[in-house]
Amino acid sequence: MTGAKITHFETHDVRFPTSLSGDGTDAMNTDCDYSSAYITLYTSSSLVGHGMTFTIGRGNEIVCQAIKEVASRLVGRDTEQLFANMGAAWDHLLADPQLRWIGPEKGVIHIATGAVNNALWDMYARARSKPLWKLVVDMSPEELVSATAFRYITDAITREEALAMLKEKEAGKKDREAKVKELGYPAYVTSAGWLGYSDEKVARLTKEAVSAGFNHFKMKVGSNAASDLRRGKIIRSIIDDPQYLPPGSSGHLGPSVEGKNAGPTGAVLMIDANQVWDVPQAIEYVKSLEEIKPWFIEEPTAPDDILGHAAIRSALKPHGIGVATGEHAHNRMIFKQLLQAQAIDVCQIDSCRLAGVSEVLSVLLMAAKFGVPVCPHAGGVGLCEYVIHLSLIDYIAVSGTMERNVLEFVDHLHEHFLYPCSINSRGRYNVPTNAAEGYSIEMHKNSIAEYEWPNGSYWVEAKGTK
């Protein structure tokens, strides 16, 4: 079967001035302008594909340049031949020996590949008139395995093991799909806990999140232990108090919050240090926050330090605090080692730090084999739109469970997308159902025109006022 040919592509450096409001601030990243290194693939037909990688401002132009180098490998290729084996298509994107040298499979070249691979998957889903998650869960186990990146991880999971796992879950897919469409996918909120917010804003946003149905909350920590403890107590005083629950709600007690240090209403608090500590420092700092009963500490140290994470997990386990990481784990091999070393309690994939859907699938499969829940990172522009698809794939086709899982939600910048994600009254993600939306990452043209760096209308006006 032959299809349209990929003819050309466009890239856009889109930056939003979130540093003005303190959105996205944490102990490491104190000045964040949420940004999108954005690509559209065009074909000889009307079929297109959109993708992006997230950054926080300066350097976004470097990623856009790398995207151009990677995407050029797809020009002239037949779309149906690419769709027939997305694992082989992923291998092709990574196979340029000179580009590979400046990775390999990490850094700018890898996240650029993520944008391109995501755009190809978006195109594939649009060609089949399905949302991305539906395209993947409708695949046979054999098709899904062939779409997955397996190089360098067969010491942790083989194709044969993955195939057996997927076949085991095959019978229940329809029931799980119906269930998640009815209930929504569990979410947690980060928007209340940014480090740059005042205590009053933290309290107000926390109350709003509780009333919206959320029962998992995350706050940023790491700049000052006394301040973190104070802010944590403010959040705990609200989320543990039944008076702030939605009318008719008695909280979220049950198996989904067991072992998560949940309070009397079933509310769960997580903390995130964004890599600021050395290993011994992380252990002592987190122990000092034991009073606010965190479920886990996220990114306690350097994201590549597998043994460091294992040491932190071992030291904090007697205190009932787990370890999570993954938003800066730059490829499937890092996740492989984190899982093999029993270094994490929660696996946090990033939709475009990894090199697109094909590599994400490999991590979902490994996490399912090791019995570690996947709670994706989504703190950034476009990431919530992306990751609901990945969590649906995990639940329906791979792990078969969403009992322990929660997917990050931040209430920022969704208005810039044609198919924005949404949350229901129970604090859960709604399932994307529009047949035209693909991977849900298509951006409004007027948003690109306004916020493209450096000549978008917003940035031209901003420079004129300085």
Q: 197 burial class (0-12, 13-18, 19+ CB within 10 angstroms)? A: buried
Any domain includes 441: no
Give the separation between CA 35 and CA 98, rounded to whole angstroms.
Answer: 27
419 in a structural domain: yes
Give yes or no: residues 452 and 334 share one domain. Answer: no
Same domain, yes or no: 374 and 453: no
Residue 16 has what pLDDT? 96
Residues 6+ apart with CB under 8 A from 454: 460, 463
Domain CATH for 380: 3.20.20.120
Q: Which residues are catalytic, by number?
A: 220, 377
Are 117 and 240 in the same domain? no
Asked whether residue 138 is domain-assigned, the answer is no
Residue in the block written with tokens 């806990």: 193
- Give the amino acid at 421: C
Residues 416 and 457 placed together within one structural domain of the fold: no
Both 187 and 260 in one domain: the answer is yes
**Which pLDDT belongs to residue 195?**
81
Least Cα distance to 383 among 406, 345, 417, 341 occurs for 417
Numbers of helices and strands, H then E, in the chain: 18, 11
Q: Give the pLDDT confidence of 295-313 residue by residue, as tens digits.
A: 999 999 999 999 999 999 9
Residues 407-441 as b or e (16 or more Cβ within 10 Å = b) = bbbbbbbbebbbbebebeebbbbebbeeeebbbbb
Instruction: Rounding to the nearest 10 degrees, give the CA dihedral for residues 331, 439, 113, 16.
Output: -100
Please tell me whether residues 308 and 388 are part of one structural domain. yes
Per-residue tokens: 224:
């000052």
Q: Give me the phi and psi of 210, to 5 degrees please.
A: -60, -45
Q: Are strands 294-298 and 428-429 parallel, antiparallel or unpaired?
A: unpaired
In a domain, 152, yes or no: no
Q: What is the CATH number of the domain that holds 30?
A: 3.30.390.10
Q: How far is CA 383 from the centre of its chain?
A: 6
Cis before 454? omega within 30: yes
pLDDT of residue 25: 55
- The per-residue pLDDT for 191 is 80
- 231-235: long-range contacts (C-beta < 8 A, 24 or more apart)? 231/193, 231/199, 231/202, 232/269, 232/271, 232/289, 232/291, 232/292, 232/294, 233/291, 233/292, 234/199, 234/202, 234/203, 234/206, 235/192, 235/193, 235/202, 235/206, 235/269, 235/292
pLDDT for residue 466: 46
Q: Are residues 195 and 119 in the same domain?
A: no
* Same domain, residue pair 60 and 189: no
18 lies in some domain: yes
Contacts of 136 (CB under 8 A, 6+ apart): 144, 147, 357, 361, 389, 393, 397
Do the domain assignments include residue 324?
A: yes
Which residue's entry shows tokens 């993955």?
A: 162
Regions of the chain with pLDDT less than 50:
466
Task: Give this prediction's pTM.
Answer: 0.96
The sign of the dihedral angle between the CA atoms of 374, 387, 146, 70 is negative
213 and 339 housed in the same domain: yes
| Average pLDDT over all residues of the chain | 95
Which residues partner with 172 through β-bridges? Answer: none
Cα Rg, the chain, nearest whole Å = 21
Please check whether residues 235 and 372 belong to one and the same domain: yes
Please name the helix (run of DSSP H) or strand (run of DSSP E) that holds residue 209, with its range, or none: helix 199-211
- Does residue 350 fall inside a structural domain? yes
180 and 80, same domain (yes or no)? no
Helix 86-93 vs helix 107-127: crossing angle, to nearest 10 = 150
- Assigned domain for 436 exists: no
CB atoms within 10 A of CB 139: 16
- Domain count of the fold of the chain: 2
User: Which residues form the domain of 31?
Assistant: 5-131+446-465
Both 386 and 454 in a single domain? no
Task: Say what the pLDDT of residue 463 is.
Answer: 77
Residues with Cβ within 8 Å of 379's Cβ and at least 6 positions away in sequence, in order, are 24, 190, 327, 408, 410
